[in-house]
Chain A
Amino acid sequence: MNEVRTLANGIRQQQKRAVARGLTWIERGAPSGQELVRDLFSDAGRAHVIGITGAPGVGKSTLVNRLALALRTRERKVGILAVDPSSPFSGGAILGDRIRMQDSVMDEGVFMRSLATRGHLGGLSRATFGAVTLMDAAGYDVILIETVGAGQSEVEIMQLAHSTVVVLAPGLGDDIQAIKAGILEIGQVFVVNKADHDGADHSVRAIRGMLTLGMEHLAWFPPIVKTVADRGDGVDELVKAVESHWGYLRDSGQLDQMRRGQTAHLIELALQDWVKFALNDAQKAPDWEAMRDQVRSGIRDAGDAANAIIQRRITCH
């Protein structure tokens, strides 16, 4: 049996070592990782994928830790993927989400992996998509994804999660920031964390006020849950809210529609990869400088050069 099949079998048996190594392969972005995802794909499709997003420091990791513990008491196996930004200067990263997850990650039914964005924009890393398929195939019932601390462009999570939880904290104008940033549009559940601080009720009212503008007619109206994540307050209510959203998605047929949209996004990502590889090849080719000079001096236009690069990639692969 080849290496990919052996690893895939270990993953299906939920062997932690195999899961960890498989995630590394996927992160490497090499053909072996793609082959692995392809092999596992038929075993995926059962997990409930939940995104946890919100500004830096609102308590996402602390909440993920509590969610994982609460889901374990309900006998769910939990996979966690936590994304932190890579440095644009060195390419390195400090991945610190695990600090807040120490209580849950030692549980046999929890697997947690930190991912760096590695230049991918949108709040996730490129590998997060394949990583979800892997964890799903490994039999994790719920997959929690913590995005990088979100601003206005970190909304790719909606292309991956079934339920997106937007976390806010009172004070600091966070609620207003979120409304301006457009992050309210992506949430199916809202959390006002740090409810032990002043202003939590105000935040709840502000969010509800924004949501009711034009959303009353929707079949799913996003619940707003107050939590104190470091104490665990409100976490049961949050679990109920995301589970009821999962039930809604399945009963209403929305899940299928969502999957179609997300599949289109996967194709888009794969196409972007392809273009990146093509450009890489082109820049290494002996005629790259000549091609660039031709475009610069107007002998050739950029679109024509792009065409030539694509043609070459097609014939070489």
Chain B
Amino acid sequence: MIRVLVAKPGLDGHDRGAKVIARALRDAGMEVVYTGLHQTPEQIVDAALQEDVDVLALSILSGAHPTLVPRIMELIRDNDLTDVLVLLGGIIPNDDVKAMLAAGVAEVFGPGTDTNDIVKCIRERVKTHE
């Protein structure tokens, strides 16, 4: 069973996109922990730890990814959670993608991504234990 945390760090005003992703992953047979809006990096990484997820899917629309993502990746390393596959979605300018990947994000999905591609990416990259 693949477990995914769908998290929304920062001050985004709505979470429609995150909910669409959560439902798509559920319909693909995954267990999705959803924690709502306005999560701090500390809250997100603590939730990933306690829920023992395979995947952390971040959704950021506010433009704050250059500060939020490196902080989250730092906490992931501090907590020895580097096995967790980190995906990033939302509004990420092309110029920033490289930096996000360098920070440790496995893949960046822009607006309008087919959810099937996200499902496929997760299935390919997560080595399931069952």
Contact = CB atoms under 8 A, between A and B. Distances in A.
Given A106-B43, A106-B46, A92 B52 contact: no
Contacts of B52: 20-21, 23-24
Contact of A99 (B23, B28, B34): B34
Given A17-B80, A28-B129, A28-B130, A95 B33 contact: yes
B30 interface: yes
Given A98-B47, A106-B46, A114-B51, A90 B26 contact: yes
Interface in B10-63: 22-23, 25-36, 39, 42-43, 46-47, 49-52
Contacts, number: 77
Nearest to A19: B50
A102 B22 contact: no
Indicate the member of B26, B47, B130 with the most A CB atoms within 10 Å.
Answer: B26
B129 A94 contact: no
Indicate the member of A89, A91, A92 with the most B CB atoms within 10 Å.
Answer: A92
Interface string A92-110: 1111101100100110000
A154 interface: no
A92 B33 contact: no
Interface string A54-73: 00000000000000000000
A94 B40 CA distance: 21
Contacts of B80: 17
A116 interface: yes
Nearest to B24: A92
Interface in A13-68: 16-17, 19-21, 23-24, 27-28
A17 B28 CA distance: 27
B46 A105 contact: yes
Contact of A92 (B30, B36, B47): B30
A87 interface: yes
A16 B129 CA distance: 20
A51 B26 CA distance: 26
A38 to B, nearest CB: 20
B29 A91 contact: yes
Interface residues of A, number: 30
B79 interface: yes
A264 B36 CA distance: 40
B102 interface: no
A35 to B, nearest CB: 16
Nearest to B130: A28
Interface in B76-130: 79-80, 129-130
B34 A17 contact: no
A21 B53 CA distance: 10
A165 interface: no
Given A28-B129, A102-B35, A93 B50 contact: no
A313 interface: no
A98 B33 contact: yes
A19 B49 CA distance: 10
Contacts of A102: 35-36, 39, 43
A17 to B, nearest CB: 6
Contact of A95 (B31, B43, B79, B130): B31
14 contacts: A23-B52, A90-B26, A90-B28, A92-B29, A92-B30, A93-B32, A94-B34, A95-B34, A96-B34, A98-B35, A99-B35, A99-B36, A102-B35, A106-B46
Q: 6 nearest interchain CB pairs? A: A92-B26, A99-B36, A20-B52, A92-B29, A24-B52, A91-B29
